[in-house]
């Protein structure tokens, strides 16, 4: 499937998964994949962590004002500015940020900073569970409606919290009888359930526990919230050459080489170790395919200690390749 067409199926992409599976890295890779085919991208960082900028060679936390990760910077302090084609901007969006903007948008600019700094949100959040998530997603919905970028990618909180994050609006909708809170929750649920506007992209590792958890949480999100799962990203995927199947002794004989017994033993042990690992990976991705029938985007495990811009481009290229290999009719829901 054409990469641009795949990325344009929805404007909002929520990258979800357990902490440590590579959510932030895949968020960055997805943004880079889309930007490489000329889309404008806004990445939204919900936790104000450092990882995102580093992958683009711009270390430091992402702030409230949009910063460029790739391409030209925003023009002045225009918060409504949209990144140009092929550019990636990022901004932080905490519940406090979202509340400030909500109040400002509703004519309460003068009091909003004082209200927020007085910790009013903590009081409100205790009274209305889920309001923080609804505020944040409500802001995302507003950005989506304003079409601030061709693609808006959310680095969702780690699973556990991600489940709450995405289910809060439905919960609030059931609980709130009327008023602006209910409206905001209804708008968020509408966004989450509309596959032409929003998709969730679960990320997993090809290992037993992460696969089980991904199957469980992804299915639950589909059932409880009615979100649309775009594909599942298998991060850290590994494949070995077919030659690895051949015992070292046989391979040496075929090559007409005689190995010292100690060398033969060491190489054979390494081969078996590697083969076991690759078989486990193979088993887990097959199980994932059976239990969560979604297209898989397999992204390789890179052997580098850190992911910088060069590695990011490698991951983005792998992602584009995987998308390219999807049948054109892979997902038309
Ligand atoms: N495909 C990959 N190859 C190599 N290292 C990776 C890959 N994906 C993630 N990492 C590394 O794994 C660690 C966790 O990734 P990160 O994206 O921060 O996870 P999360 O956001 O899910 O907590 C980071 O150090 C990151 O550089
Ligand atoms: Mg992260």
Burial readout 254-288 (b: 16 or more C-beta within 10 A, e: otherwise): eeeeebeeeeeeeebeebeeeeeebeebeebbeeb
Ligand 1 neighbours, Cβ below 6 Å, are 17, 19-25, 51, 235-236, 299, 301-302, 306-307, 315
Q: What is the pLDDT of residue 156?
A: 83
Q: What is the pLDDT of residue 332?
A: 46
Task: List, for residues 32-85, the tens digit of each pLDDT value.
Answer: 999 999 999 999 998 767 688 889 998 877 888 888 999 877 776 655 578 889
Among 307, 308, 311, 315, name the best residue to mutate to test ligand 1's pocket (greatest count of ligand atoms within 8 A of Cβ): 307
Average pLDDT over residues 238-264: 88
Q: What is the percentage of the chain residues whose pLDDT exceeds 90?
A: 55
Instruction: Say how far apart CA 9 and CA 194 lie, in whole Å.
Output: 11
Q: What is the percentage of the chain residues whose pLDDT exceeds 70?
A: 94
Which ligand gives the minimal distance to the CA of 55? 1
In the predicted structure, residue 331 carries a pLDDT above the cut 60:
no
Q: Is 295:231 a contact under the CB 8 Å cutoff?
A: yes
Q: Which long-range contacts (CB under 8 A, 24 or more apart) does 261-264 make?
A: none
Cα-to-centroid distance, 238 and ligand 1 (Å): 15
In the predicted structure, residue 295 carries a pLDDT above the cut 60:
yes
Residue with tokens 């910063």: 67
Instruction: Say how far apart CA 313 and CA 46 lie, in whole Å.
Output: 23
Class for the domain spanning 3-240+292-324: alpha beta
Cα-to-centroid distance, 59 and ligand 2 (Å): 14
Instruction: Say how far apart CA 178 and CA 26 lie, in whole Å.
Output: 38
- Two tokens at 10? 């929805």
Atom of ligand 1 at shortest distance to CA of 300? 1
Phi, psi of 233 (to 5 degrees): -90, 125
Do the strands 232-237 and 88-92 form a parallel or antiparallel pair, or are they unpaired?
Answer: unpaired
Task: List, for residues 115-124, the tens digit of each pLDDT value.
Answer: 777 777 777 7
Q: What is the mean pLDDT of the chain?
A: 88
Residue with tokens 């199947």: 245
- Two tokens at 30? 């997805």
Cα separation values, 97 from 45, 60, 104, 164, 228, Å: 12, 19, 11, 19, 27
Do the strands 296-300 and 232-237 form a parallel or antiparallel pair, or are they unpaired?
Answer: parallel
Which ligand gives the minimal distance to the CA of 46? 2
């Amino acid at each position: 499937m054409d990469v641009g067409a795949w990325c344009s199926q929805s404007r909002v992409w929520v990258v979800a998964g357990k902490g440590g599976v590579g959510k932030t890295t895949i968020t960055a890779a997805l943004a880079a994949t889309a930007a490489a085919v000329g889309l404008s991208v806004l990445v939204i960082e919900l936790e104000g962590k450092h990882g995102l900028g580093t992958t683009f060679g711009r270390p430091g936390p992402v702030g409230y004002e949009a910063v460029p990760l790739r391409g030209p910077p925003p023009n002045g302090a225009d918060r409504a500015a949209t990144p140009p084609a092929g550019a990636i901007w990022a901004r932080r969006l905490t519940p406090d940020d979202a509340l400030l903007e909500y109040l400002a948008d509703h004519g309460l600019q003068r009091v909003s900073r004082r209200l927020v700094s007085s910790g009013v949100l903590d009081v409100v959040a205790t009274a209305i569970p889920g309001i923080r998530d609804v505020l944040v997603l409500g802001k995302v919905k507003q950005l989506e409606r304003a079409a601030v970028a061709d693609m808006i990618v959310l680095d969702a909180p780690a699973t556990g919290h991600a489940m709450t994050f995405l289910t809060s609006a439905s919960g609030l909708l059931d609980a709130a009888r009327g008023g602006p809170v209910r409206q905001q929750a209804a708008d968020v649920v509408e966004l989450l359930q509309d596959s032409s506007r929003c998709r969730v992209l679960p990320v997993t590792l090809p290992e037993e526990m992460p696969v089980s958890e991904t199957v469980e949480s992804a299915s639950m999100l589909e059932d409880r919230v009615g979100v649309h799962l775009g594909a599942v990203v298998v991060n850290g995927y590994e494949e070995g050459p077919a030659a690895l199947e051949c015992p070292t002794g046989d391979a040496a004989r075929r090559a007409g080489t005689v190995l010292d017994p100690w060398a033969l033993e060491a190489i054979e042990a390494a081969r078996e170790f590697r083969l076991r690992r690759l078989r486990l990976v193979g088993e887990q991705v097959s199980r994932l395919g059976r239990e969560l029938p979604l297209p898989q985007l397999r992204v390789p495990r890179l052997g580098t200690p850190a992911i910088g811009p060069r590695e990011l481009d490698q991951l983005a290229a792998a992602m584009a390749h995987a998308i390219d290999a999807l049948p054109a009719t892979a997902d038309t829901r």
